[in-house]
Amino acid sequence: MINTKTAALQKLDSAHYLHPFTDHKDLASKGARIITRGEGVYVWDTEGNKILDGMSGLWCVNMGYGQTELVEAATQQMTVLPFYNSFFNTSVEPAIELAALLAEITPPQFNHVFYSSSGSESNDTILRMVRRYWDIKGEKQRKTIISRKNGYHGSTVAGASLGGMTGMHEQGDLPIPGIVHIEQPYFREVVKDHPELKDLSEDEFGVLAAGWLEEKILEVGADKVAAFIGEPVQGAGGVIIPPKTYWPEIQRICDKYGILLISDEVICGFGRLGTWFGCETMGTKPDFMTFAKGVTSGYIPLGGAMVSDRVVDVLYQDGDFNHGYTYSGHPVACAVAVANIKLMQKLDLVNRVKNDTGPYLKQAFESLNDHPLVADAKTEGMVAGLVMLKDKANNTPFDDDDNVGMICRGHCFDNGLVMRAVGDRMIIAPPLVISHAEIDELVRLARLALDATWADLK
């Protein structure tokens, strides 16, 4: 039995709240789990359950819950100046300070930032900026942006179009014109349709998968392609960690055809992969990086796009870029971001992920590969994913109707762990401040959930 507070909140929730990405019939029948507070890597719900948040909220609470420095930065800025805009030759101190700090921590080609309030808006900004860039260069016909199936770039019309989620494209006639998709570098999925590729090494597959970009460029016409966008590690698509050969080959192809490269760093940015930005782990030199989430550890909405010098030089040739959001450079959000980044620097958190907690998570999480349900348990820094198989010995996947992911996710919650399910994959992206003992606890709870799932399905 749930307590009366939970019951009352669930009733109001289901009566009035349209949730993002939620089946509302299911929500009405089961009631929402209502989270009330957080501390470190844990959250608590209205029933008093303590839950290890293996997903950092939604890939964002990188510093964990209850960081007083971030709260104080917000309070201080709200008191002094809660809002002023950056339109028409005005500016605000925290936005300037953050821009300079971002120029310092991002790869050398980046010295300018355009602010938004989310990852989706950041990718919308890029779509407009890329087209503006080619217009000014006198190559108006370069409009097409190439993206990847199962990629995720947000929920606005441009974000959902850039993304490669069929479930999103089916609703609302997406993608919009000028956006095309290639296959993702997910070996297991590709081999389902192309069994003849099953003996390729990981490195060979990486080069092959990158080659699909070149094929698409030639199909569209090289002079019509404006840019390629991708997440260094596909997150919402199920934590698809590409072979090491993939991104360098993508970079080579972009350079060969003079195509702009956009690294969507909304998940991978701010230390998630053990480098400040995911492109540094993957060895690319993008022209744009979009970010959100980890920039403020999710304490307040902020997003943005880092724009490389070669693009800025062109944009500056023609004064106005008619684009901007009321909350571009929001002073409170920027003040929190400055505090967040400084705290990361103080704790040397990126190095800790690279050299300490990342390797520790790797050995702990990848030990799940011995489970009878599990294959491909793999990590990169502080993201990890595994696939569950119906018959591991014969490499047989589950059917969609088996609902294996949702079953396992339910058992995770019952055991006090948030893990996300993407089809037959279970994924995590814990707060970057997680300790060794908490990693051990996470993996122990994950194993319990896998055991319970295994028992259910036998």
Residues that bind ligand PLP (CB under 6 A): 59, 118-120, 123, 152-154, 159, 231, 235-236, 264, 266-267, 292, 303
Q: Which H or E run includes 388?
A: strand 383-391
- Which one, of 311, 343, 288, 286, lies nearest residue 116 by Cα? 288
The whole-angstrom separation of Cα 441 and Cα 181 is 39
Nearest distance in Å: CB 75, ligand PLP: 24
Residue 59 C-beta: closest distance to ligand PLP, Å? 6
Consecutive H or E run containing 226:
strand 225-230
Give DSSP secondary structure letters for 230-292: E-SSB-TTT-B---TTHHHHHHHHHHHHT-EEEEE-TTTTTTTTSSSSHHHHHT---SEEEE-
Min dist CB 133 to ligand PLP, Å, is: 20
User: Between 157 and 452, whose beta carbon lies closer to ligand PLP?
Assistant: 157
Nearer to ligand PLP, 228 or 454 (CB): 228
Write down the least CB distance from residue 167 to ligand PLP, Å. Answer: 15
Q: Give the distance, in angstroms, between the CA of residue 198 and the centroid of all CA atoms in the same chain.
A: 29
| 357 burial via Cβ count (<10 Å: 0-12, 13-18, 19+) | buried
Least distance CB 250 / ligand PLP (angstroms): 16
Write down the residue that tokens 């997680």 correspond to.
434
Tokens 């008191």 belong to which residue? Answer: 79
- Closer CB to ligand PLP, residue 242 or residue 397? 242
Q: Which of 13, 68, 67, 62 is nearest to 35 (CA)?
A: 13
Closest to 161 measured CA to CA, from 186, 126, 190: 126
Give whichever of 56 and 118 is closer to ligand PLP, judged by the CB atom.
118
| CB nearer to ligand PLP: pick between 206 and 303 | 303
Looking at the chain, the number of H-run helices and the number of E-run strands are 18, 16
**In the complex, minimum distance from the CB of residue 20 to ligand PLP, in angstroms, rounded to a whole number:** 8
Q: How far is the CB of 62 from ligand PLP (least distance, A)?
A: 13
